[in-house]
Each structure stands twice: as C-alpha cells, then as structure tokens.
Amino acid sequence: MNKHKKQKSIEANHDNFLMWAIKKFVSKNYKVAFKIATTELHQNQNGPNSGKKRYGALAICKQLNKTLPHHPSNKQLTTKTINLLLTMDWLAFPH
C-alpha cells in the first residue's frame, strides 16, 4: 500500500473552507431556483395561463435548469418537488 502525504493544518483548513464555500453556494443557488419556480407555477395556475401548455411545472423546471448556472453533479429542480410543495401548501392553507 502507498501512503499518502499527510496534510499540514493550513492545507486541511483551506480544503475544508473550499468544501464549505461550495456547499453553501450550491444550497443558496438551489433555494433561489426553488423559490422562483414555485412562485411562477403558483402564478401560472391562478392566472390567465391556467391549463395552457408550456406553463406547467415541467416547462418551468426545464427553463430554470437551463438558465441558472448549475454544475452537472448538483441537484436540479424536478416537477415532483415543486408539485409536492404546492399540494402540501394547498392542504395546509386551503383557499
């Protein structure tokens, strides 16, 4: 077996900081995209575009996944998560 070189404390701190910064950026980016998608879908369902093609959850998710900067290994928006949140919101607060 090969032994790898032990990291110095400065190198370990640097690596830990980079991992923390990347995770924070990814989670912030996902939260922003999720909020945009849910508000847009809610407006489409309650507005004049209700029931029309290209205004549903699938179209919104595709559009946001294309436009917002995502890394291929990051999680992306899916229709299941958005629809689940909207149904839970509707059950909790019926209109």
pLDDT in tens, 48-90: 877 788 788 888 888 888 877 666 666 777 778 777 766 665 5
Supply the range of the domain harboring residue 75: 25-92
CA distance readout (Å), 51 to 26, 55, 57: 32, 8, 11
| Phi and psi based region of residue 54 (left: phi greater than 0; alpha: psi -120 to 50; beta: remaining) | left
> Is residue 10 one of the residues assigned to a domain?
no
> Is residue 13 one of the residues assigned to a domain?
no
> Is residue 16 one of the residues assigned to a domain?
no
Q: What is the DSSP letter of 70?
A: -
> Is residue 9 one of the residues assigned to a domain?
no
What is the pTM (predicted TM-score) of this model?
0.58
Q: Provide the pLDDT for residue 70.
A: 64
> Is residue 76 one of the residues assigned to a domain?
yes
> Is residue 82 one of the residues assigned to a domain?
yes
**Number of domain units in the chain:** 1
> Is residue 64 one of the residues assigned to a domain?
yes
> Is residue 14 one of the residues assigned to a domain?
no
